[in-house]
Chain A
């Protein structure tokens, strides 16, 4: 155990004179599920984007299995193949069928055989309940279905670590569950995951470790039960309270 997949040391992200991330230290072990929460604008999505160098960082370092992940690096595409990422807005390629959406990267990047990739894609699709959608176009799918396809599109690259950036935030409530179920299943398989979410019940169910970020810093981290039952910091308490509805007092 305790094989480090991802290491962040003092990561600083500045944008137009503002400090978005202010010295983030984080280690993620193989098979660990880390859930990041925090108020909007706290930098949690930026952190995920920095991890696969979609955003350059201004300080610190990010290591994936010991190799530095740096924006502009020649080796970057190779490292990114090991970092799967799913975005809030799914972002399937609208001009391709679901099958092509999934198989494009393994065929062009890994140079895998078309028939073999399509077999794996079909199997993954049926595991997320979308076996009949292979020939559809993204516009014919619901938001929840598109997001499951986006997850399959990432999985087929066999990444070492999976990043989920508020993947249910744009979905209608009845579609949230189907996506969360897929993610729970991945966690059960022992995948290494970092999840940014506002779904607190889900976070508690899936996380091995909770991280609370505010104003670009890790304010608190801990086991999910401890974190949700008795948060140590005022800021985490205040944040969690926003998710609890008190009965309105009527005078």
Chain B
């Protein structure tokens, strides 16, 4: 391995990593919001919307991100919706992640026994107060491990962004290999940069899971 090649490539990777993180976090943010909304629709069994959410979840979970990106990037312009590669990447990640986040929140909500709600209601709390103070805090802490897993999964999925000509880490590595053929160095840096991004997320997630576990114990 040639160290001088590594140092030469470093700035390019840094820039690509920033793009990966920026688009990844934005996508995850939208995915989380979308997931919360979908989980709420399922939890409250809102008619019509519930059916739409179910179809969306199946569609999103059973198609690869690459195909979803192609659909947004090449398909939508055909019906007049044009997007930039950045918007496409974020939207694709949100579309994919929304269903996984929804399932994580839903499993958290369903893990809270009905009697918790009944206890709160029998104290005279309104349904809103019950959800705000009793159900949600417990549900979120039950969901934390699944949410952390989703964040890591989605960050890894950003590696297909290169397919819609986003200059992310994967794109940069492939590009450099094509240009200079320093395969070892290019791939080595690719692994290192993904680790730099994902390891802290994993460690932070473990800490968060430990902290959130209190609600997992029985009443």
Q: Is the CB of A94 within 8 A of B218?
A: yes
Shortest distance in angstroms between B129's beta carbon and chain A's nearest beta carbon?
A: 5
Shortest distance in angstroms between B37's beta carbon and chain A's nearest beta carbon?
A: 23
Q: Is the CB of B129 within 8 A of A52?
A: no
Q: Does A226 contact B (CB under 8 A)?
A: no
Q: Is the CB of A94 within 8 A of B129?
A: no
Q: Which of A79-107 touch B at CB < 8 Å?
A: 80-85, 87, 89-95, 104-105
Q: Is the CB of B124 within 8 A of A92?
A: no
Q: Is the CB of A54 within 8 A of B118?
A: yes
Chain A residues positioned under 8 Å from B113 (CB to CB): 91
Q: Is the CB of B125 within 8 A of A92?
A: no
Q: Is the CB of A90 within 8 A of B219?
A: yes
- Number of chain B residues whose Cβ lies closer than 8 Å to a Cβ of chain A: 23
Q: How far is the CA of A105 from the CA of B133 in the complex (A)?
A: 10
Q: A87-B115, A146-B219 are in contact. Are A93 and B125 (CB under 8 A)?
A: no
Q: How far is the CA of A101 from the CA of B15 in the complex (A)?
A: 50
Chain B residues positioned under 8 Å from A80 (CB to CB): 121-124
Q: Does B195 contact A (CB under 8 A)?
A: no
Of the four ranges (under 10, 10 to 19, 20 to 34, 35 or more), the interface on chain A belongs to: 20 to 34
Q: Is the CB of A105 within 8 A of B123?
A: yes
Q: Does A211 contact B (CB under 8 A)?
A: no
Q: Which of B89-121 touch A at CB < 8 Å?
A: 113, 115-116, 118-121
Q: Does B153 contact A (CB under 8 A)?
A: no
Q: Is the CB of A89 within 8 A of B214?
A: no
Q: Does B217 contact A (CB under 8 A)?
A: yes
Q: How far is the CA of A136 from the CA of B15 in the complex (A)?
A: 49
Shortest distance in angstroms between A153's beta carbon and chain B's nearest beta carbon?
A: 7
Q: Is the CB of A139 within 8 A of B218?
A: yes
Q: Is the CB of B122 within 8 A of A95?
A: no
Q: Does B137 contact A (CB under 8 A)?
A: yes
Contact of B121 (CB < 8 Å), options: A54, A78, A94 = A54
Q: Is the CB of A95 within 8 A of B141?
A: yes
Chain B interface mostly: helix
Q: Which of A20-70 touch B at CB < 8 Å?
A: 52, 54
Q: Is the CB of B123 within 8 A of A157?
A: yes
Q: Which of B118-155 touch A at CB < 8 Å?
A: 118-126, 129, 133-134, 137-138, 141
Q: Is the CB of B124 within 8 A of A95?
A: no
Q: Is the CB of B219 within 8 A of A94?
A: yes
Q: Does B215 contact A (CB under 8 A)?
A: yes
Q: Does A244 contact B (CB under 8 A)?
A: no
* Chain B residue nearest to A93 in the complex (CB): B134
Q: Is the CB of B122 within 8 A of A52?
A: yes
Q: Is the CB of B129 within 8 A of A92?
A: no
Q: How far is the CA of A84 from the CA of B15 in the complex (A)?
A: 62
Q: How far is the CA of A145 from the CA of B194 in the complex (A)?
A: 51
Q: How far is the CA of A234 from the CA of B133 in the complex (A)?
A: 49
Q: Is the CB of A78 within 8 A of B119?
A: no
Q: Which of A214-228 touch B at CB < 8 Å?
A: none
Chain B residues positioned under 8 Å from A81 (CB to CB): 123-124
Q: A93-B134, A108-B129, A108-B133 are in contact. Are A139 and B123 (CB under 8 A)?
A: no
Q: Is the CB of A77 within 8 A of B116?
A: no
Q: A91-B115, A93-B134 are in contact. Are A108 and B218 (CB under 8 A)?
A: no
Chain A residues positioned under 8 Å from B129 (CB to CB): 108-109
Q: Is the CB of A83 within 8 A of B122?
A: yes
Q: Is the CB of A54 within 8 A of B122?
A: yes
Chain B residues positioned under 8 Å from A104 (CB to CB): 123, 133
Task: Contacts A93-B120, A95-B137, A109-B124 known; list 4 others, CB within 8 Å.
Answer: A77-B125, A80-B121, A93-B138, A139-B219
Residues of B within 8 A of A (CB): 113, 115-116, 118-126, 129, 133-134, 137-138, 141, 214-215, 217-219
Top 6 A-B pairs, shortest CB-CB distance = A81-B124, A105-B123, A95-B215, A85-B122, A91-B119, A139-B217
